[in-house]
Amino acid sequence: MTKSNLYIDFHILQTVPPSCVNRDDTGSPKSAVYGGVSRARVSSQAWKRAIRTMFMDIFEREAVGVRTKKLITLLADIIIEKKNISKEEAEKLAKKAFETAGIKFNKKNDAEALLFISHKQVGALADLIIEGKESKEDKKLYTDALKMFPAIDICMFGRMLATDPSLNFDAAVQVAHSISTHAVQNEYDYFTAVDDMSEEDNAGAGHLGTIEFNSATLYRYATINVSELNKNLKEDTGRAIQGFAKAFIQSMPTGKQNTFANRTLPDLIYVTVRTDQPVNLCGAFERPIPATADGYVSKSIDELTKYAKKVYGDFTPEPSKAFIVGKKEDSFAESVSIDQLIEQLGKLPSD
């Protein structure tokens, strides 16, 4: 049984080499001004997408959701699996099922907005339409089908429907935009591509271009409201926390991955368990880490631990539990391996 307030805070320091992990509308690496200087930034949306993608490898198909406007196709395929009918008839039934649940469609038969739905919810809708539950009195059965059996990622990242707030799920996970611990200036890579079938006496390139990139030591932060998560997942809460921990630690957004091969692992993982409120420690880097011959990682680790001790001493109680991977800190946190960390986090809901 979880406590009334129980939060797990993840603090990660991670260095990425020359890369363009997350681009803006002009193709430039995303950035932010913090502490009066420009920082490299990776948006929370980009990293949440990477986490959800990794969930597909961590959890079984029924435990994860699908965010799509192609709801009719999604449900029609399940109806065909359960009942031997034509695709056209299955699509008609699928549209009717969603419309009964209050979902609206445009002229192209796409939902008017993206819907985050679990495979179990799709299956429940298929069963209702196959059973012939079509009266106005049955409408509640369809809306209930969209409330029951929420996927792990729906419970973590939430779901919002403006047309029917009763189908909303409050997010139990918050993910911050990652920022560099130091000032960053973008650079440009000028490249050429050779036309393999060009004339031998043609020394020119077949294509010229530039790619903007940077490199950075990033501070990454996320928090899980365990009590909120437990309301919807019950006995699955522990494994959901473990899956999120693994995905948050090991995932990487795929921006320009083929160009830069920038997939790295963290330099430091610091995880705290709190019973008061989440605490983001980005203030450790409000004053940017200066460049040194030793790079940025070592000084970033020192500043993070120093700032955490200051916050705990002046503004908030120390966490009830704290774990650290990548640095020996006897008085600061329990030093563990990644496997030990994930094992400990899975036990928290039942502690």
Q: What band does 1 get if pLDDT is binned at 50, 70 and 90? A: very low
Q: What is the pLDDT of residue 3?
A: 57
What is the tens place of the pLDDT at every residue in 46-58? 999 999 999 999 9
Q: Are 69 and 115 contacting, i.e. CB atoms less than 8 angstroms apart?
A: yes
User: Residue 113: pLDDT above 80?
Assistant: yes
Q: What are phi and psi of 290, to 5 degrees?
A: -75, 155
Exposed / middle / buried, residue 136 (Cβ in 10 Å: 0-12, 13-18, 19+): exposed
Tokens found for residue 158: 């939430």
- Please, what is the average pLDDT of the chain? 92
Q: Which range among 132-136, 183-187, 194-198 has the greatest average pLDDT?
A: 183-187
Written as one letter, the residue type at 132 is: G
d(CA 245, CA 248): 5
d(CA 221, CA 308): 13
Q: What is the pLDDT of residue 9?
A: 98
User: Residue 120: pLDDT above 70?
Assistant: yes
Exposed / middle / buried, residue 109 (Cβ in 10 Å: 0-12, 13-18, 19+): middle
More confidently predicted of 330 and 281: 281
What is the tens place of the pLDDT at every residue in 269-308? 999 999 999 999 999 999 999 999 999 999 999 999 999 9
> Range with the lowest mean pLDDT among 105-109, 306-310, 328-332?
328-332
User: Residue 332: pLDDT above 80?
Assistant: yes
Q: What is the pLDDT of residue 252?
A: 97
Torsion angle of the four alpha carbons 122, 156, 217, 287, in this order, in degrees rounded to the nearest 10? 140
Q: What percent of the chain has pLDDT over 90?
A: 81
